[in-house]
Structure 1
Amino acid sequence: MSQEQLQGVLCMKKPPEFTSFDVIGKLRGILHMRRLGHTGTLDPMATGVLPILVGRATRACDILPDQDKTYRAQVRFGWETDTEDIWGTRTAAYPEMHVTREALEAALPQFVGEISQIPPMYSAVSVEGRRLYDLARKGLVVERPARQVQVYEIVLESFDETSQEAVLSVSCGKGTYIRTLLADLGHVLGGGAVMTALCRTRASGFTLEQSYTFDEVTEMCRMGTLGAHLVPTDRLFASLPELRFSAEQTQRYCNGVKLPLEQVAGVVPEHTEYRAYGADGGFLGIAQAEPETGLLRVGKNFS
């Protein structure tokens, strides 16, 4: 198989000062491939896991079932900036603010579960067709509707009462702004807070330990071993039940023919999405059940 025919997930360790699109651009130069995508944007100064979709795996961008993420965030209490992180312009200081471990631990449960967040002005959220960061760079502040996001767990990894700095591990759902969560935490504790570092340690089921640097990927290409380091595309859909077709079903399915649900082994009444595999065990893609018609159709093809 040529490198152009490869597909799967290449987990990258995003370095600081790179946007997610910068990572794609550099990888295109290393891999000599155009068909690349990513599963979730990271701010330029953030580091950590950035799953890159290679080849036909890019078709998964808009249908990923697992969009949960885990971050290790460092926060400093006592001041605020316009970007809610250390790289912005200071807008307020709270010299009398002093956070104790007890107060911090007591405040954290307020930010677990379904919580409301107002997106920061320096974000890619659109309001009336305009990106907030474009407005913020012009010095404008506009009303932003609050959004509901899901935070599953916050663990206090360390706290230095003298420097007023803490390290938190945050597991959350799609659309959660960690710097906003930290800024809101600062308000609850009687002042302000800014994020001073952020590392994504898990994304779409992939971890930092599974991720590679640019130099490592360059060496893989030199050795011709890139394919061996790609995570199979079907791992993106590990949370979905699987269906395995007979040879006849495989041929019909690959030709776009809908299959009667009653004739497909493994169909579960409460599920409408499945991982579909052919008679040879190869991953075909995502199949969609239509309970109202009693048929199974091709959802997204990866073969």
Structure 2
Amino acid sequence: MARKRKGIAINGIIVVDKPKGASSNHVLQQVKRLFNAQKAGHTGSLDPMATGVLPICFGQATRISQYLLDADKAYIATIQLGKTTDTGDAEGQILTQESPPLLDMQELQNLLDLFIGEIQQTPPMYSALKHQGQPLYKLARKGIEITRPPRLIHIYQLDCMGYDSENHTINVYVKCSKGTYIRALAIDIGEKIGCGAHLSALKRVQCGLLTDKEMVSLEKLNALSSQQMLQYIYSSEYPFTDCPIFTIPKDEIDIFYRTGKLMNTQKLHGIVRLYDENAQFIAIANFDQGQLIKKQFFLQGIMEHDQKNVQH
């Protein structure tokens, strides 16, 4: 007999404003306890020094975690010019110091424009990437340097938001593809200027369609009742509301539930929201040239469908 899972069966997504200094897993565990949720998981770690958008999925919504991991992200970052550190951020030990040149906003923007588009980026040693099963940051702490092959990433937008010539810091807005390391971008910008640099502050403001407008802080959640907290939970469908809807024909719904296959799919491409004939959201599907290559059911629709079959 299966052991009953402790907690409440909550389904959906909450966008937490991760505080500085806390690990993503620590925030996850706090939120899980606050909601007394049976099942929860975050969708990609932020470094302890980073703040901002940390989507946490409850229950069935954990099935879409990979979609959010793969989604484009946006950040506001502060880059300290003239100093490099062993970690590439403000938490590391200073390696070099050099006086940065004075730049104007237009010069800075012209330089940042060089990084827009598809570029090769070498992941930093202080990262969660693994080498022979061991995270690189653990090797880095032992003074071990591993050759990291550069990866193709995409910088969609890189804007200079401000420049403090006295403190030699620049604030930038970055919109980028998955797998982009903002610390590595800060290092590369410092090298391009010729004075070195490191990342001194980072805030994630967007993950896919989830933005800082949907965020709620841990402090606010702690001040709310259990019922009031529920207002901050979004449906599993919410991150996909920019994707097209495909309503499965009534005569195909049974075979879809049994086999997960669809007919007449030649016009479908990419991520699609699947609805039944009652406008019930039942699944996220991914199509390539009309072929269903991946799907994620949401149990409510399946359970209701099974109940109807039993009743009839």
- For normalisation by structure 1, the TM-score amounts to 0.88
What one-letter code is carried by the residue in structure 2 that aligns with 1:232? Answer: S
CA contact (8 A) 2:84 2:197 kept: yes
CA shift digits 1:119-158 (9 cap, x unpaired): 1110011233321101001111121111111100111111
Query: How many residues align structurally?
Result: 292
Work out the CA distance in 2 between the residues paired with 1:130 and 1:253: 41
Is 1:136 matched up with 2:132?
Answer: no
Conservation of the 8 A alpha-carbon contact between 2:9 and 2:38: no
State the secondary structure of the residue aligned to 1:274: strand
In the alignment, is the contact (CA less than 8 A) between 2:216 and 2:232 conserved in 1? Answer: no
Q: Distance in 1 between matches of 2:285 and 2:108?
A: 46
SS in structure 2 opposite 1:92? strand
Describe the SS at the equivalent of 2:125. coil
Give the counterpart letter for 2:274 in structure 1: A
2:273 equivalent to 1:275? yes
Q: Which amino acid in structure 1 is aligned with residue 91 of structure 2?
A: W
| Structure 2: tracts of 5 or more residues without a match | 1-6, 300-312
Change (3 A) 1:162 1:54: same
The answer as to 2:157 corresponding to 1:153 is: yes
Cα distance in 2 for residues equivalent to 1:87 and 1:297:
43
> How far, CA to CA, are the matches of 2:294 and 2:186 in structure 1?
43
Give how far 1:107 is off.
1.0
Q: Which residue of 2 aligns with 1:72?
A: 76
Q: How does 1:1-303 map to 2 (within 5 A)?
A: 4-64=8-68, 67-95=71-99, 97-101=100-104, 102-220=106-224, 222-256=225-259, 258-261=261-264, 267=265, 269=267, 271=269, 273-287=271-285, 299-303=295-299
Aligned equivalents of 1:116, 1:295: Cα separation in 2: 31
Change (3 A) 1:42 1:161: same
Tell me by how many angstroms 1:240 deviates. 3.1
Distance 1:198 1:122 in 2: 16
Are the structure 2 counterparts of residues 216 and 186 from structure 1 closer, same or farther at C-alpha, using a change threshold of 3 Å? same
Give % identity: 32
Amino acid at match of 1:205: L
Q: Which moved more, 1:241-250 or 1:149-158?
A: 241-250
Check 1:175–1:142 CA distance in 2 against 1; reply closer, same or farther (3 A cut).
same
Relative to structure 1, is the Cα distance of residues 122 and 231 closer, same or farther in structure 2, using a 3 angstrom cutoff? same
TM-score normalised by L of structure 2: 0.86
CA displacement, residues 244-268 of structure 1 (integer Å, 9 cap, x when unaligned): 134454344333363422xxxxx56
Q: For 2:292 and 2:183, how far apart are their aligned partners in 1? A: 43
Distance 2:260 2:198 in 1: 55
